[in-house]
Structure 1
Amino acid sequence: MAESGRGGRSLLRETIVVVGAALVIAVLVKTFFFQAFSIPSGSMNNTLLKGDRVLVDKFSPWFGATPARGDVVVFKDPDHWLDGTPEAPQPHPGLGHDVQSVLSDVGLMPSADDSYLIKRVIAVGGDTVSCQAGRPLRVDGVVLHEPYLYPGATPCDNDAVGTVVVPKGDLWVMGDHRNDSADSRTQRRAGRDGGFVPVADVVGRADVVVWPVGRWATLPEPDTFHQAGLPRPGDGVAEPIALATLVLLPLSGAALLGRGRRRRRGRA
Structure 2
Amino acid sequence: MDTEAKHTERDPSHDPGTGESAQGSQSVGGEGKLGATDAAGADGSEVGASRRVRFGAFSWRRTALLTVALVSVVLLLSHFVAQPFQIPSGSMTPTLRPGDRVLANKLAYRFGAEPERGDVIVFDGRGSFVREDLEENPVSTAARGVLTAIGLADPADTDYVKRVVGVGGDRVVCCDKGGRVQVNGTAVDEDYLHPGDTASEVAFDIVVPEGTLWVMGDHRSDSSDSRDHLGSPGGGMVPVEKVVGRADWIVWPVGHWTSVERTSAFARVPEAPASYGSGRPRGLSDRTETPVSSGRPGGIDG
The answer on 1:128 being equivalent to 2:171 is: yes
Match of 1:142 among 182, 186, 206: 186
Task: Give yes or no for contact 1:43–1:177 (8 Å, CA) kept in 2.
Answer: yes
Q: Does 1:37 align with 2:100?
A: no
On the 8 A contact 1:137/1:155 being kept in 2, the answer is: yes
Q: How many residues align?
A: 214
CA deviation profile, 1:211-256 (whole Å, cap 9, x unmatched): 111111211321112x234349xxxxxxxxxxxxxxxxxxxxxxxx
Partners of 1:110 and 1:10 in 2: CA distance:
30
CA 109–167 in structure 1, closer or farther in 2 if over 3 Å, else same: farther
Q: 1:1-268, aligned counterparts within 5 Å?
A: 1=48, 2-79=50-127, 81=129, 101=144, 104-109=147-152, 111-132=154-175, 135-156=179-200, 158-161=201-204, 163-188=205-230, 190=231, 193-225=234-266, 227-231=267-271
Distance change (3 Å), C-alpha of 1:76 and 1:26? same
| Amino acid paired to 1:145 | D
SS at match of 1:223: coil
Residue deviations 1:46-101 (CA, integer Å, cap 9, x gap)? 11112211111223333222111111111122446359xxxxxxxxxxxxx99x93
Distance 1:177 1:229, change over 3 A: closer
Contact 2:125 2:158 survives alignment (8 Å): yes
* Greater Cα offset, 176-185 or 125-134: 125-134
Letter of the 2:247 counterpart: A
**Aligned pair in 2 of structure 1 residues 229, 113: CA closer, same or farther (>3 Å)?**
closer
Q: Deviations over 1:135-174 (max 9, x none)?
A: 2111112211111100000002x1221x211111010100
Say whether the 8 Å CA contact 1:160–1:185 is kept in structure 2.
no
Larger proportion of helix: 1
User: For the structure 1 residues 182 and 8, does the alpha-carbon distance in structure 2 shift closer, same or farther, using more than 3 Å as the test?
Assistant: same
Following the alignment from structure 1 to structure 2, what is the Cα–Cα distance between the partners of residues 9 and 110? Answer: 30
Match of 1:260 in 2: none
Question: What is the distance in 1 between the residues matched to 2:156 and 2:199?
Answer: 32
For residues 56 and 105 of structure 1, what CA distance do their matches in structure 2 show?
Answer: 14
- In 2, Cα distance between equivalents of 1:18 and 1:191: 46
Q: What corresponds to 1:263 in structure 2?
A: none
Residue 21 to residue 123, structure 1, CA distance change in 2 (3 Å): same
Amino-acid identity (%): 41
Report the Cα distance in structure 2 between the residues aligned to 1:21 and 1:102, rounded to whole angstroms.
Answer: 17
Runs of 5+ consecutive residues of structure 1 not aligned to the other structure: 84-96, 233-268
- How many angstroms apart in 2 are the aligned matches of 1:4 and 1:43? 57
Q: Of the two, which has the highest radius of gyration?
A: 2
Normalised to the residue count of structure 1, the TM-score between the two structures is 0.71
Q: Distance in 2 between matches of 1:187 and 1:33?
A: 30
RMSD: 2.6
Q: Please state whether the residue corresponding to 1:129 is helix, strand or coil.
A: strand
Q: TM-score, normalised by structure 2?
A: 0.64
Q: Which amino acid aligns with 2:114?
A: T
Query: Which deviations, in whole Å up to 9, do the C-alpha atoms of 1:161-189 show, x marking residues without a partner?
Result: 1x21111101010000011111111223x
